[in-house]
Amino acid sequence: MTPSARSIHELRALGFRADKTEQRLPIPGKFVTRDTFGFGDILACHHAGGILLLQVTDRSSVNKHILKASAELLEDEDGERAPNPIRVNVIEWIEAGGRFEIWGWSQSGPRGETKRWRYRRVVFARDHGDLIWTDEPEIL
């Protein structure tokens, strides 16, 4: 099961309506994926939890996605540092009332026992004008 399918299953079990928004585009010789607003794979809503745009990945790639969403400057194709448009989109999403999280999936558990799929949950927010992120427990 892919991280997207696992996340949708988890969200629906928690009472969210959820659907994949990431698009896979056929480009001659390769496939390119396009995220919603450059950072979202799944859109979910819940009557008590609001609207959530979720980036999903494997646990080992979470830090890369945090940087992609939060860095003020990124290097472009020419090696020049330029403002990060994805960060601007994350900020606008949060200021419009949306929630943004990254879930990184991995199997874990005590040695010698059956491993269980778990996710690292990173929640983004605004704090006095700054974009911040924190590790939070899984939604139960």
SS3 annotation, 25-66? EEECCEEEEECECCCECEEEEECCCEEEEEEEEEHHHHHHHH
What pLDDT is stored for residue 27 in this prediction? Answer: 80
**Is the per-residue pLDDT at 47 higher than 70?**
yes
What pLDDT is stored for residue 67 in this prediction? Answer: 93
| β-sheet bridge partners, residue 43 | 19, 53
What pLDDT is stored for residue 5 in this prediction? Answer: 95
**Is the per-residue pLDDT at 106 higher than 70?**
yes
Neighbouring CB atoms inside 10 A of 90's CB total: 26
What pLDDT is stored for residue 46 in this prediction? Answer: 96
Q: Largest alpha-carbon pair distance within the chain?
A: 49
Mean pLDDT of 69-92: 88
Mean pLDDT of 108-132: 92
How does residue 140 score in pLDDT terms, banded at 50, 70 and 90? low
75 versus 113: the higher-pLDDT residue is 113
What pLDDT is stored for residue 70 in this prediction? Answer: 93
